[in-house]
Every structure is written in structure tokens, then in C-alpha cells.
């Protein structure tokens, strides 16, 4: 295969990955607290030290999908009135305990588990500032959460909800639609802003994502036509050469 086609195919491969990322964003447009992913494209340079290097060219630049990153903008808040629906206004993540260890989330749809622990829909307990599950008793019937995360009932203060921030917000790995694994150290947010009775919606903008998907699909189709045209051109040239030699 010629050089032009291989360079073009590298961009097609990157576009396929970009299409997958966009599809994932659209699939999670309704997932509370979901952060849209974006692709980071770079050039992969192939050095050309050989004598036959094209004049003026020392390297060939191939397209490369180097990494993905998440948009950190907050989603809109939807007020539900449920006292255990919590949203973070600003930076930070809630921490929940899972069988695989602590995980981060912006999905604040919490509720009471049968044992009195506050947890998410999957049964993962919400953790306090010390990393312990938050539990309330049957006597605590009216729960209030202050903006700094202090959880109280008619019997007094019960716990303080932990809100943390990774040292590098881009070094987090998704585990499903709502949980994230921090691949960097985390630290408590000094002045968290928690809104009780509200849920943060996804920051995905469906119309923008659909536009991005259409643009990627059109570019992929154009590049595929180019590769096919190059293949046809080479086949035609070979046929003419063989016909000339056979004459």
C-alpha cells in the first residue's frame, strides 16, 4: 500500500475511535453527573533516514488518537425535592465504597439502604470525610444537608459528607456510567458546595454531539473514497503495465 493511503488510514482509524467516544457521550446524555469525553489527536512521526526519502521530507506524520479527556464543566441542576438527592455545585466528587475500593461519582441520587446506610442505586455506601460509610438510625427521620456537607437530623449532627478532588482531574477512569476510578491522589475540597434535593444532570449537549458525529462520519466517508480511488488508480496502472509488457 502506498504512503498516501497509509497516512489516510491512520486518520480513519482515529476517526473510528472518535465516533465511539461520541456515541458513548450520546448514550449517557441522560446519566446524572456524567462528564462528556473528548479525543486528543496528535501526530505520530515516522523518521525517514533512508536515501530514498522524498525531497524536503524528514518525517511522515500519521494521525494518532493519543488519549481522551473529560470536560469538567458542571451539568445543570434538576431539583427533585428528595432530601437524599445531592448535587455538587462546583469542583469535587462524592466518594462511595465499592468491592473494588473507593470510587468517585457526581451522581448524587442517594437513598437509605436496609441497614440504615446512605448509599447509591447500586448499594455502594456514601463515605464521610474520614472514608467511613454514613449511617443513620431509625430515630433520625428529618435529614438535612448543609452546603459544606454536614448531615444533620432532629437529633443533631450525624456526619460530614466527603467531597474530594483528584490532583489531576484528567487521570480518572470510568467504570460504568456513573463511577470513576482515580488514578491520581485525591484531596478533600476545602469549601464544597452541596445542594440538597437536587441532582446534577449530564453536561453532554446532544445536539452538539450529533453534529460532531455527522462531521466525523462525513470525513470518514471522504477518506474511504480517497483510499478506494488510490487503490483503483494503482490497479489500473498495473493492468496497463502488464498489457504493455504482454504486447
Q: Indicate whether 81 and 196 sit together in one domain.
A: yes
% of the chain residues with pLDDT over 90? 58
pLDDT digits (tens, 9 = 90+) for 9-48: 888 888 888 999 999 999 999 999 998 988 877 665 555 5
Give the residue from 200, 218, 236 where a domain finishes.
200
Based on the fold, state whether residues 88 and 28 are members of the same structural domain.
Answer: no
pLDDT at 144: 96
Residues 210 and 190 in one domain: no
Give the whole-angstrom CA distance, residue 80 versus residue 77. Answer: 9
End position of a domain, from candidates 179, 200, 221:
200
The model's pLDDT over 113-153, given as tens digits with 9 standing for 90+, comes to: 999 999 999 999 999 999 999 999 999 999 999 999 999 99
Q: E strands, 5-58, where? A: 37-47
Between CA 76 and CA 90 the distance in angstroms is 11
Helix (H/G/I), strand (E/B), else coil: 187:
strand
Complete edge-to-edge strand list for the sheet that includes strand 144-145 = 144-145, 150-153, 156-160
Grid look-up 439502604 returns: 113
Q: How many domains does the chain have?
A: 2
Q: E strands of 108-183, at which residues?
A: 111-112, 118-119, 144-145, 150-153, 156-160, 163-166, 172-175, 179-182
Q: Are 190 and 165 in contact (CB under 8 A)?
A: no
What is the predicted pLDDT for the residue at 226? Answer: 85
Mention every residue, 6+ apart, whose C-beta is less than 8 A from residue 111. 84, 118, 119, 120, 121
Lowest-confidence pick of 1-5, 195-199, 213-217: 1-5
How much is the mean pLDDT over the chain?
A: 87
Q: Are residues 187 and 241 in the same domain?
A: no
Residue 12 structural domain: 3-72+204-246
- Note whether 135 and 46 are same-domain residues: no
pLDDT digits (tens, 9 = 90+) for 67-97: 788 888 889 999 998 999 999 998 999 999 9
pTM recorded for the entire structure: 0.76
Amino acid at each position: 500500500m502506498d504512503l498516501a493511503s497509509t497516512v489516510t488510514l491512520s486518520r480513519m482509524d482515529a476517526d473510528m475511535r472518535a465516533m465511539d467516544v461520541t456515541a458513548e457521550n450520546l448514550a449517557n446524555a441522560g446519566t446524572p453527573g456524567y462528564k462528556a469525553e473528548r479525543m486528543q489527536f496528535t501526530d505520530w512521526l515516522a523518521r525517514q533516514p533512508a536515501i530514498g526519502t522524498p525531497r524536503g521530507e524528514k518525517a511522515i506524520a500519521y494521525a494518532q488518537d493519543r488519549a481522551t479527556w473529560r470536560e469538567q464543566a458542571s451539568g445543570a441542576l434538576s431539583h427533585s425535592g428528595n432530601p437524599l438527592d445531592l448535587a455538587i455545585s462546583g469542583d469535587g466528587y462524592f466518594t462511595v465504597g465499592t468491592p473494588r475500593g473507593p470510587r468517585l461519582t457526581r451522581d448524587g441520587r442517594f437513598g437509605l439502604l436496609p441497614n440504615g446506610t446512605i448509599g447509591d442505586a447500586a448499594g455502594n455506601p456514601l463515605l464521610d470525610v474520614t472514608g467511613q460509610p454514613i449511617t443513620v438510625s431509625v430515630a433520625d427521620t428529618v435529614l438535612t444537608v448543609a452546603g459544606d456537607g454536614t448531615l444533620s437530623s432532629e437529633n443533631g449532627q450525624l456526619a460530614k459528607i466527603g467531597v474530594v478532588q483528584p490532583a489531576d482531574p484528567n487521570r480518572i477512569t470510568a467504570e460504568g456510567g456513573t463511577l470513576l476510578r482515580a488514578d491520581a491522589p485525591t484531596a478533600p475540597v476545602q469549601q464544597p458546595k452541596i445542594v440538597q434535593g437536587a441532582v446534577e444532570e449530564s453536561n453532554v449537549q446532544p445536539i452538539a454531539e450529533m453534529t460532531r458525529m455527522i462531521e466525523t462520519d462525513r470525513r470518514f466517508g471522504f477518506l474511504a473514497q480517497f483510499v478506494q480511488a488510490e487503490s483503483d488508480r494503482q490497479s489500473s496502472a498495473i493492468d496497463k503495465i502488464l498489457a504493455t509488457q504482454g504486447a
